[in-house]
Amino acid sequence: MSKAGSTHGDITLRKGGAELIDRLEPLWLALHEHHQSVQPGFAYLAGERSWELRRSCYRRWILEEGSFILLAERGSRAVGYAFVEIQSGPDDTWVTGSRVAELQTLSVAPADRGNGIGTLLLDEVDDELKRLGIGDLLIGTLAANSGAQRLYERRGLRPVLVHYARFSADPEKH
């Protein structure tokens, strides 16, 4: 992908770093709301606080060599993004390369979901990882987010970990 980005129909993809982080807020907040709708029954942070913490993580993760953001835009409006953190390998359980990618976030604006933007972003993530010589990719998703799970499985990813949690603020704790 050139520095200016690549165009796919009316969508432009732009690769960047920390300079793009503040543009991600509305898309993060939309994803945060989506999480609450697909997996209710948990105590979620307020949107503003959630973004504050996620933004802090993004600022830390983008410093890892090779980490990147792909921003999908329609005109000047951000309609989706992928945030990829590159971590040092190898893994302590599975055979991996010396660097492992983790898709920390994939978000598409609610009005633009179902139009292939997520797939477009994932295709570009795969292309960029290939350019970087990274073959290993980790992606996490909510247990109840079956749509995301189907998308990732269609791309050849398989579930490898299941996290269990007990949060003291949960309204349904036992």
In 10 A of CB 2, how many CB atoms?
A: 7
Work out the burial of residue 154: count CB atoms within 10 Å of its CB; fewer than 13 is exposed, 13-18 middle, 19 or more buried: exposed
The reply to whether 67 falls in a domain is yes
Full residue range of the structural domain in which residue 76 is found: 6-154
Reported residue count of the chain is 174
**What's the predicted TM-score (pTM) here?**
0.93
The reply to whether 171 falls in a domain is no
Number of domains in the chain: 1
In 10 A of CB 22, how many CB atoms?
A: 9
Q: How far apart are CA 72 and CA 97, in angstroms?
A: 29
- Over residues 31-83, the pLDDT tens digits come to 999 999 999 989 999 999 999 999 999 999 999 999 999 999 999 999 999 99
The reply to whether 167 falls in a domain is no
The reply to whether 40 falls in a domain is yes
How confident is the model over 155-170, as a mean pLDDT?
Answer: 90
With a cut of 70, say whether residue 2 has pLDDT above it.
Answer: no
In 10 A of CB 91, how many CB atoms?
A: 12
The reply to whether 34 falls in a domain is yes
CATH classification at residue 90: 3.40.630.30
